[in-house]
Copies of this chain bind each other. A is one copy, B any other.
Amino acid sequence: MKKTMRQMQKEQTKERLLETACQLFSKQGILNTRVADVAQAAGVSHGTIFLHFETQERLVTEVVERYCGGMAARLHELTCSCGDVREFLSAHLEGIMEFEPFYTRLVIENRFLPLGARDAWITVQSAISYHFSQMVEREISLVRTDVPLSVLFNTWMGLIHYYLENGDLFAPGESVIHRYKNVLCGNYLKMITTERMKHDAKSI
């Protein structure tokens, strides 16, 4: 099962291509990145891309699948062990911040990506949705029950994505989540918690 030097180098090259592509995608957008850009940035020739990926679509799909996998795993790690609602929301934002440039690209461009890539993105959303439900279940007494869980979740996602999508207007040149995380957590929390929780929330 020993790898030859060639095999290893090939894998390393592919790795570098995925990594480089992800960086370029994050910086200049996925749709706006040419195969030639990736090749140049990775220091290989144009043709090499097609040795590792049949088509540009495959490249995009593999990059998105790879990094969505990572994001889902990390978000799971951060949110599954959260005690209360605020902690959960906070952890969720921390997780997003770790991948913010690429995550933002997916928020904006996911509708234009190949099917496999969109699927990977939807999987991340589903993972978050699952942990959100778990959290609400644990905190059932503190979260308002007169609004369906799905609406609570979609409100939260919509809010975050709205800020990410318009990050260049809300926080030009910096991380919009970093700048607004307290505003987002705090105020969303106010809107979804029951009255009787208010004095508890304030004491944190």
What residues make up the interface of A, taking CB atoms closer than 8 Å to B?
31, 108, 111-112, 144, 146-148, 151, 154-155, 157-163, 165, 183-184, 187-188, 190-192, 195
Given contacts A146-B190, A151-B183, A151-B184, 16 further A-B contacts (CB under 8 A): A31-B112, A108-B111, A111-B165, A144-B190, A147-B191, A148-B183, A151-B187, A154-B159, A154-B163, A155-B155, A155-B158, A155-B187, A157-B162, A158-B159, A158-B163, A191-B191
A154 to B167, CA, bound (A): 13
Residues of chain B lying within 8 A (CB to CB) of residue A144:
190-191
Q: Which of A31, A146, A151, A192 has the most chain B CB atoms closer than 10 A to its own CB?
A: A151
The smallest C-beta distance from A112 to any residue of chain B, in angstroms, reads 7
B147 touches A187 (CB 8 A): yes
Residues of chain B lying within 8 A (CB to CB) of residue A146:
190
Residues of chain B lying within 8 A (CB to CB) of residue A183:
148, 151
7 contacts between A and B (CB under 8 A): A111-B165, A144-B191, A147-B187, A148-B183, A148-B187, A161-B161, A191-B191
Residues of chain B lying within 8 A (CB to CB) of residue A155:
155, 158-159, 187-188, 191
A195 touches B192 (CB 8 A): no
B162 touches A154 (CB 8 A): yes
A70 to B31, CA, bound (A): 30
A137 to B161, CA, bound (A): 27
The smallest C-beta distance from A82 to any residue of chain B, in angstroms, reads 22
A45 to B27, CA, bound (A): 39
CB-based closest 10 A-B pairs: A158-B162, A158-B158, A191-B191, A158-B159, A147-B187, A151-B187, A108-B111, A155-B159, A154-B162, A147-B190
